Amino acid sequence: MGCGRLLLGAAVTAGLLGLAPAAQAGAPTPEQFAAMGTFTVPSITTTKGCANYPYGYRLSPSSPDWTVEVTVVGPGDLGIAAEVLISGADPTAGSRSLTLCSSSTPAGNYSMRGRITVSDYPDQYSGWLTPTTFTVRAPATAATTQPAANSPRCVKARKKAKRLGTPKARKRAQRICRQTRR
């Protein structure tokens, strides 16, 4: 009986001192995955054609061996762009650029999502980072920037044409007002 109490006392002491065997870490929880990284994307106004738009990221994976699949999703869950960040090739924090084309990127609210996979050999665990939302606006056009009739240059030319009253001045004012419309 004395020997049993001695073993029990040794086990309790070892547990209090942190000498007990470590519990299996297992897969991270969804909250832990969400805390492993963030994206920073400013609002975007597309330009005519295709262009690169910067975004930032900061990762804190639970393992030195990781990958992140980055996906940009637009209105109606339409996938617009995707890329992969890989440990060993990409730093855990930095900036990248996203190529968007105005013809295939409608205006609206978008989200950047990341699926992180961490390797704790021989196991691999995957989960979602916290998504980031941003707004894409259509490219500005001359019609939306300033109406021709109200542009300062057009107003000035019309006043001058009215003051002079000549056909040459009227034609010049018409030409100037047409130019500001484009």
Q: Is the pTM of this model over 0.85?
A: no
Give the contacts of 50 (CB within 8 A, at least 6 positions apart): 99, 100, 101, 102
For residue 101, give the H/E element and its range: strand 93-101
- State the span(s) of the chain assigned CATH 2.60.40.2550: 25-140
Q: Which fold has domain 25-140?
A: Immunoglobulin-like (2.60.40)
72 Cα distance to chain centroid: 7
**Which tens digit of pLDDT belongs to each residue from 77-127?**
888 889 999 999 999 999 999 898 888 888 899 999 999 999 988 889 999
Direct distance between the N- and C-terminal alpha carbons of the chain, in angstroms, rounded to an integer: 99
**CA–CA separation, 25 and 14 (whole Å):** 20
